[in-house]
Amino acid sequence: MTDARNHEPTQGLPPDERLAAYVACLAATKDRRAVREVVEREVLLCLIRTNSDRINEYPLLETQQRSIIEIMAARGAVDPLHGHIRKLVGEFVAQLGQYAKPGGGDSSQVRTRLVNTETQLLKCVQGVVYTTALCTDNFIETLVRAYGEDALGPSDAVTESTELDEQFWRKHFEHFVVRMVDEAYDAIMTQEAFTLSKERSLLVIRYPFDALLERLCRTPKPLDKTRVQTLFEFETRDFASRKARKLVHDILQGMAARPDYSFASGDIDFISQIVCIDPAAREMEKLQTLLLSGGLPGDATSGAPGEAPGTEGEAPATPAPEVNAEQVQFLREQVVGMACSVAITLNLLREDFLRALDGFSPKETAIVRRTLGDFSLPCLGRALQSLLEFQFVTLLRRRAGEDMGKIHIRTRKERRTSVAAVETLFDSGLTRIRRNKLWQPDPGRPTMQLFRPQTATELESLLHLLQIEPQLAREIGSLWTDASFRVEFALYISLDLLSRSTTNLNQRLAELLSRFGITRL
């Protein structure tokens, strides 16, 4: 995992120097008679580059910087939520024009509004930075968990050379999924780990998925968390952060019904947690609580418009003696801006991820979409498993070629748990008879036991039939929920359909089997 993001923000340029840079950028675009869209893009790029030192975890790699800029200024524009950012950019350009007029820069109100809008836009950029950092860090950790530390070299090479778009994911898939499955298939055939049988008019080839999984590194060295991962996980433990997250969640939930703030209900928890990495969310919750309780006389300027940790702004000319609604509203606007950029980034990452999948069926792609979720480590772990499974099926379809219409591919899954985990249940009332009714040995792995029930309903019925005690039933239910799967791929070749296209079935069958690496029956 790269160290590109692991740096603390600094105070950056003084406000006057920043404003001078924006004014110069605006003047240059006007000299070129640029259209409004170009003016707004150039000013936004100037804002990001001028404030890169003030943005938490802003990446050092140029590819990652370009990715953030493209999401903010171009690629995210197709998302309805981008309207919020466009509106802010438009206001910023208009305020710059007013500030640049003779005497405009001397007005404290004009200057304050301008720096406040700058702060809001920087929070939008911050949302993109946090989201891209967390999602890619989680993805790389998932690869290291599966393949060991050797995964870091190839992944870093992709990160350093490729922007975070469809090609980023495609290059990772080609190395860690396509290549892995191709090598695993060749090993299965070389070691004759498959089985070949005849069932009525069908010739069946079975491939154990364990033969692929065994090539993965199951006990890699623990990977140090990046700062973004640590901050994200801290949100679940810190009381103040949990309070802020509840408030942000309620705000976004209330806005989600509006067409211009179409936050997906399944993403709101993730968005809220990302937003609360930034101090503005906790400050908003604190000041809103104080406001509802009557305010705090004296020093309460930390939430004043224009002031936010990491992106300092302009304080009002006269500090407010107590917390007021304007302060809370300004922090709320920062939070909503961040939430919009987080949602836009998450949507783009998911779509890029899915577009990078080649050869998957619409049903398989839909399953990956559901599994991928919010790019959390559990979701990515399940997504990688699905990618390997579906890639194996894709490989079989590709080898079948024009004869795919004569072949049916099935994937069989059985839940399983370790023998050691089952043995611990004897202390809670499990008996040998009960164990044998609930589990059977896994023929491919002596250390594992397969659940006999195939569905949760079947399990519940069997637990009732065996009169399992409530505590033991809960423990068995936990093993069921956390169980891994024994996966087997079965290729069914219809001999009837194959015979209709040839006068020499044996020769035709031999030619078909050779495509799958089987040269003798």
The Cα–Cα gap between 351 and 168 comes to: 12
The Cα–Cα gap between 193 and 211 comes to: 8
The Cα–Cα gap between 261 and 253 comes to: 10
* β-pair partners for 149: none
Q: CA-based angle 330:332:337, to the nearest 5?
A: 100
Residue 328 CA from chain centroid, whole number = 31
So what's the pLDDT on residue 49? 92
pLDDT confidence band for 6 (50 / 70 / 90): very low
310 pLDDT higher than 70: no
So what's the pLDDT on residue 12? 74
The Cα–Cα gap between 170 and 180 comes to: 14
319-346: pLDDT as tens digits? 445 778 999 999 999 999 999 999 999 9
Q: What is the dihedral sign for C-alpha 161, 162, 168, 174?
A: negative
Closest CA to 272 of 357, 343, 205, 192: 343
SS (H, E, C) 493-516: EEHHHHHCCCCCHHHHHHHHHHHC
pTM: 0.86
Look over the chain and give the mean of its residue pLDDT values, rounded to a whole number: 88
| DSSP three-state, residue 487 | strand
CB of 241 within 8 A of CB of 235?
yes
Q: Nearest 10 degrees: CA dihedral of 133, 135, 136, 139? A: 150
Judge residue 242's burial from the number of C-beta atoms within 10 Å of its C-beta, 0-12 exposed, 13-18 middle, 19 or more buried. middle
| DSSP three-state, residue 373 | coil
424-472: pLDDT as tens digits? 999 999 999 999 999 999 988 899 999 999 999 999 999 999 999 999 9
What residues have CB less than 8 Å from 51, skipping those under 6 apart?
Answer: 12, 13, 18, 118, 122, 125, 311
119 pLDDT higher than 50: yes
pLDDT confidence band for 4 (50 / 70 / 90): very low
* β-pair partners for 205: 196, 491
So what's the pLDDT on residue 33? 85
Q: Nearest 10 degrees: CA dihedral of 357, 359, 365, 371? A: -60
What is the residue-wise DSSP string for 180-197?
Answer: HHHHHHHHHHHTT-SEEE
301 pLDDT higher than 80: no
Closest CA to 243 of 295, 282, 294, 269: 282
pLDDT cut 70: percent of the chain above it: 91
For residue 387, how many other CB atoms are within 10 A of its CB?
A: 25
